[in-house]
Amino acid sequence: MPTALITGITGQDGSYLAELLLEKGYEVHGIKRRASSFNTERVDHIYQSPHAENARFRLHYGDLTDTSNLTRIVNEVQPDEVYNLGAQSHVAVSFESPEYTADVDGLGTLRLLEAIRFLGMEKKTRFYQASTSELFGLVQEVPQRETTPFYPRSPYAAAKMYAYWITVNYRESYGLYACNGILFNHESPRRGETFVTRKITRGIANIAQGLEKCLYLGNMDALRDWGHAKDYVRMQWMMLQQETAEDYVIATGRQISVREFVRMSAIEAGIELEFSGKGVDEVATVSQVIDSEKSPQVSVGDVIVRVDPRYFRPAEVETLLGDPAKAKEKLGWQCEITVEEMCAEMVASDLENARKHALLKHHGHQVNVSVE
């Protein structure tokens, strides 16, 4: 039975990857952070009690800033595969906490690689690094592929650039099977609530059910190549099953704007929107309610989206579009879920949550819907 260790198992990708590896018969170990409240919601459905016979899922307390802790866990687990998904993964937050982001996202990767080397496991353990399209930042070529030069535009991207190169360096220096998946944005109903797609689907669902009045966003012109996390974790696993370790761009090859994603999400919630104004004055107004069962609390003329400059970033990545040709040719990977299908799944899930919250509110319970 192969054994995998996943950092960031409590995150979006970690939870989907853990499901996939369990399905494939792996013993799955994950690192979770100590928190004052439960933080395992995304993996609760696959949790197995350590007291259960033949349990194949186990969580270890740890942190990417803690060298001895990581070394001890790697030694204890003796993983065949390590997936380094743990990170302070929010680009805007990285401008607020640049040093912490560098420590976790940059040095955290080095600490894990060093643990493997220090324990003499270079020939046993394969290593996946969660690299990112943010490396391309101020894009030097369209579409972006494995050979496109990097130009990071945030503390997050700069930290991930160190992680990218140290992964390449350990492959070249010590013969470690180590690869970078340069993944473009990928989303799902499990996406963190402050990333733009989830903020939009959740915000619109809350407005539809009367829990909020207006959704405030930043740069509506930003263009992203959005895929589904389920498709992308499949590729993370595939990358570690090859004869030679290589780096791959994973993307859909199609981009849309934040504004278009708003429009698409509203349609899924039974609302048609009209956009007017420019820059900070842009608003989206309801022009038609197509499905009043989904959106009982919305009327024609309501302004439900506004721009708040608080969400602008000190330096922005305006456009990203990936070319997944290498992944398709060499590994036969292709994304199966379109952005429209993903958006529909996210809105349906958030509408269900919003309905439950509206019911609770109706019965006098306190409901917190805020997103910062």
Site residues for ligand GDR per CB under 6 A: 89, 91-92, 132-134, 184-185, 194-196, 199, 217-219, 222, 224, 258, 311, 313, 316-317
Q: 127 with 82: CB under 8 angstroms?
A: yes
Q: Is 134 a catalytic residue?
A: yes
DSSP state of 172: H
Is residue 154 helix, strand or coil?
coil
Question: If binding is defined by CB under 6 A, does position 33 make contact with ligand NDP?
Answer: yes
DSSP 104: I
Stretch that binds ligand NDP, among 80-88, 168-176, 254-262, 302-310 (CB under 6 A): 80-88
- C-beta of 65 vs 297, nearer to ligand NDP: 65
Select from ligand NDP, ligand GDR, none the partner in contact with residue 104, using the beta carbon and a kind-dependent cut-off of 5 to 8 Å.
ligand NDP
In the complex, the smallest distance separating the C-beta of residue 371 from ligand GDR, rounded to whole angstroms, is: 8
Q: With the C-alpha atoms ordered 300, 301, 303, 305, is the resulting torsion angle positive or negative?
A: positive
Helix axis angle, 258-268 to 196-208, nearest 10°: 30
- Identity at 127, one-letter amino acid code: F
- Window contacting ligand NDP (CB under 6 A); options: 84-92, 209-217, 291-299, 347-355: 84-92
Quote the CA–CA distance of 353 and 340 in Å, as a whole number.
Answer: 20
What does 12 bind: ligand NDP, ligand GDR, none (CB cut-off 5 to 8 Å by kind)? ligand NDP
Q: Please indicate whether residue 156 is annotated as part of the active site.
A: yes
> Residue type at 196?
V
Site membership for ligand NDP, residue 63 (CB under 6 A): yes
Nearer Cβ to ligand NDP (274/340): 340
Q: Is the link from the previous residue into 2 a cis peptide, with omega within 30 of 0? A: no
- Which of 16, 83, 128, 156 is an active site residue? 156
Confirm or reject binding of residue 4 to ligand NDP (CB under 6 A). no
Task: Check if the beta carbon of residue 187 is closer than 8 Å to that of residue 342.
Answer: yes
Active site residues: 132, 134, 156
